[in-house]
Amino acid sequence: SAVISQKPSRDICQRGTSLTIQCQVDSQVTMMFWYRQQPGQSLTLIATANQGSEATYESGFVIDKFPISRPNLTFSTLTVSNMSPEDSSIYLCSVESFMTGGSGEQYFGPGTRLTVT
C-alpha cells in the first residue's frame, strides 16, 4: 500500500483565517481524495483532487471554501478558507492506486486535526 503523509498533523486556528493542508504520497497514484471527519462522526467526501484540472466537489462543498490543488501524481493540498468553529474536524486525504494491479483500494493518510477558536 502507499505511504501517505499529511502536514500539519494538527493546528489551532483563529476564525476568519485559512489553513492549507498538504498530502504527500510516496508513489504515483491515479486518484486522490479529501475527506472530512467531524468529531465523533464518520467520514464525508469533500472532493476528488484531479491532476491538472479543477477538483470535483461533492454536494455541500464549494471551491471557494475548500480550494484544492493537485500539481502532480504524488501531492495535493486542501485549503480551509475563512474558518469558523464549525470547520473544526479531522481532514484526511486518501489515494487510490492501480499500480500494484489491485482493485482500487483506497488508503488514508493520518489526518490533520483542526480546531478553530
Partner 1 sequence: GESVGLHLPTLSVQEGDNSIINCAYSNSASDYFIWYKQESGKGPQFIIDIRSNMDKRQGQRVTVLLNKTVKHLSLQIAATQPGDSAVYFCADGGTSYGKLTFGQGTILTVHP
Residues that bind partner 1 (CB under 8 A): 1, 4, 31, 33, 40-45, 48, 58, 92, 94, 96, 103-111, 113
Joined together, the cell numbers standing for residue 26 give 510516496
Q: Which is nearer to partner 1, 19 or 46 (CB)?
A: 46
Min separation Cβ 75 and partner 1, Å = 17
Q: Which is nearer to partner 1, 13 or 31 (CB)?
A: 31
For residue 97, the 8-state DSSP code is: -
Q: Which is nearer to partner 1, 8 or 17 (CB)?
A: 8
Min separation Cβ 82 and partner 1, Å = 26
Q: Which residues contact 2 (CB under 8 A, 6 or more apart)?
A: 25, 26, 27, 29, 95, 97, 107
Min separation Cβ 54 and partner 1, Å = 16
In angstroms, rounded to a whole number, what is the distance separating the alpha carbons of residues 14 and 29? Answer: 34
Min separation Cβ 29 and partner 1, Å = 12
Task: Say which residue the cell 504520497 belongs to.
Answer: 25
The CB density around residue 8, as the number of other CB atoms within 10 Å, is: 12
Q: Which is nearer to partner 1, 58 or 67 (CB)?
A: 58
